Chains A and B, each alone.
Chain A
Amino acid sequence: MNTNVTPFVFPSKIGAGTRAMAHLPYDLSGFGAVRPMVVCLESVDTDGELNPLEDAFRGSGLTFGVYAMEATPTMETVREAWTHYHEGGFDAVIAVGGAVVMDVAKCLAVAGANTPDLLREMLNTGGTVSKTVPFAWVPTLDAMCGDSAPQACLGGKQINGEALVPNLIAIDPRMLSSRDPYTMAEAGLGALATALCLYEEGEIHGLIRPYVQLSVRQVMAGLLPLMGPQKTPSKGALRWFPKEKGREEEVAYVTAMAVAGALEPLAKKSLTFSLANALAPLSRVSTEVLAGVLLPWLLNHVHEQKERELSSMLMALGDMEHLCATPDPQRTGAALALLQEKINRIWLGTGARLPRTLKKAGIPRERLLECSQGVAEAIEGWHAHEIEALLLTAYEGRRVHPEMLKNGFMQEVV
């Protein structure tokens, strides 16, 4: 067993299920907050998608403000929100949505506890945040796995700190209606890669394993059913009896996004994401998709070339039945096969819009060597020729043996 110190923090309280938002007034009062400010996109406010949140607060005795922001925020957006926050006497922030909304809300939570000038300074210096006002998140289906991570980005700059993790996450089915299958597939691949890339080093620490398993299972339980055709709303009398139970997949998917954020600080240090981040500027797809493309090849390589034991991955990808039915020597192979199957299903669900290889992702082949050398310098335990072989394999989707590259030649073995 690995007895090294492994820091892992996930301080959020997650409430998921029917009427989860109704708990927010009580939970916020536990932080001493009685007047929260909601941050959302303008389209969310004008389309009436905030009605369930307003309904959840009705009768609670709390008044709140709504700041509906533009889709491309800047520091001035945060400053404007902070002006309303400060003048209105608000004492907490609730973010409704994901991606840019979370970034602005996190920055507002920092500015609320300090000042906008301090926030600007932190953004310029890449500082670490130690204090925010109470901060809640109500995710929608636009959520990405980095939303609950301890970081925020604004205008190309980033701040970090555990204080940026939401104190409360309320996953309410009433907020999970409109969806874009491609965006969800992208985010789902990102969450899958965030969780499973931690197996690169072999066995995962016992503290982290439940989060990895939860994240993987919830992504698969939620994402694949949702990538089918969207159900049309009921008509006539049936519209008065909405089927909230049918939202279990949405809740599972968003829960996976929330939990995967806790794993992101660890995933960022992995080879999968180091490569994905290095390749993202060269590609037409996002870091999350690139990580999803690289992951199966990398785990195969780790198992075959570095002989790392990945049998515990079967528990995350399958279930107890899979584990018991598969003999120990075959578990790694079964896990890798299951992973490939699941990624294939996600790919099919998007109508083959997602790339399967780095070539299809638009990455020039001649940049792979430069990328592998850069990443090899930053990551311990990997040589440049190994990474290059891996990238070539992921580029063409065919196996390349690292021995062929030791002399610096990019050759292929068919």
Chain B
Amino acid sequence: MGHFRGVSSGSRVMQRRYIAFMLWFVGRAIVAASKADKDVKQEFEAFPDGFTFSLGSLPSGPRMVIQKKAPGKVRYLGQGKGEAIDLNLTIKHLQAFFMILSFQESTATANARARLFVDGGVPEACAVVRVMDIVQVYLLPKVIAKLAVKRYPVWSWRRHILGRSVVYLRTVTGI
């Protein structure tokens, strides 16, 4: 006859911490870019006031919540404090999220492989992905950013150097 054993799911402590740190940094960088970059400003102008979106992982993974309070005012709300979420981008499991945030898969590739789903409007989701792509280009060296985004943009050297410095400064200091 056969034998039986139970298996508990366990946890992915290091991956969870890495994802939480990356979301914290990227969240602050999105707020910084919303003040420093014209393309990100334009994307947020298209959102209504009070628009809130989140990016997180199932089942109860780390997430980041971003809210547009008013024109030109974007806030990073951390893990969220119970606000109504207008757009929810959810990654189905921590492994997939880790693959995205460690640049083994781009967001577009992960979407093609059905690793995430969207609860909300598709145009808004596309806008959020464009914002994240711009932020990743600012934060990462070209070699790594090309893995993370679908197409590496052609920017002037001024935008690359000055824009990147401003985004990093605002992200770290929070101004």
Contacts and interface: CB of A to CB of B under 8 A. Distances in A.
A45 B95 CA distance: 23
A22 B7 contact: no
A76 B1 CA distance: 8
Given A19-B96, A58-B10, A61-B60, A68 B2 contact: yes
Given A19-B95, A22-B93, A81-B2, A54 B11 contact: no
A183 interface: no
Interface string B10-31: 1110011000000000000000
Given A59-B15, A61-B59, A26 B92 contact: yes
A70 B7 contact: no
B2 A23 contact: no
Interface in B60-101: 60, 92-96, 99
Given A22-B93, A26-B92, A57 B7 contact: yes
Contact of B1 (A58, A61, A65, A77): A77
B38 interface: no
B114 interface: yes
Contacts of B1: 70, 76-77, 80
Given A19-B96, A23-B92, A80-B1, A88 B6 contact: yes
A17 interface: yes
B4 interface: yes
B8 to A, nearest CB: 5
Contacts of B99: 19
A69 interface: yes
A370 interface: no
A26 B58 contact: yes
B contact face: mostly helix, strand, loop, or mixed: loop
Nearest to A19: B95
Nearest to B11: A59
A62 interface: yes
Contacts of B158: none
B114 A69 contact: no
A68 B4 CA distance: 6
A60 interface: yes
Contacts of B2: 42, 67-70, 77, 80-81
B81 to A, nearest CB: 23
B11 A64 contact: no
A22 B96 CA distance: 8
A84 B4 contact: yes
Nearest to B59: A61
Contacts of A59: 9-12, 15-16, 93-95
A375 B59 CA distance: 56
A26 B92 CA distance: 6
A62 B113 CA distance: 22
A63 interface: yes
Contact of A17 (B16, B92, B113): B113
A367 B60 CA distance: 65
Nearest to A39: B2
Given A57-B9, A59-B15, A60-B59, A23 B4 contact: no
Contacts of B95: 19, 22, 56, 59
Nearest to A84: B4
A66 interface: yes
A355 interface: no
Contact of A63 (B6, B12, B15): B6
Interface string A18-40: 11001101100000000000000
Nearest to A59: B12
B9 A60 contact: yes
A22 B58 CA distance: 11
B11 A58 contact: yes
Contact of A58 (B12, B92, B115): B12
Contacts of B9: 57-64
A58 B11 CA distance: 6
Nearest to A35: B6
Interface in B116-171: none
Nearest to B61: A59
A15 interface: yes
Contacts of A15: 114
Contacts of A69: 2
Nearest to B1: A80
A58 B8 CA distance: 8
A64 B16 CA distance: 21
10 contacts: A15-B114, A22-B96, A23-B93, A25-B58, A25-B59, A54-B7, A59-B15, A63-B6, A66-B6, A67-B2
Interface of B: 1-12, 15-16, 58-60, 92-96, 99, 113-115
What 5 pairs between A and B have smallest CB-CB spacing? Answer: A59-B12, A69-B2, A26-B92, A61-B59, A59-B94
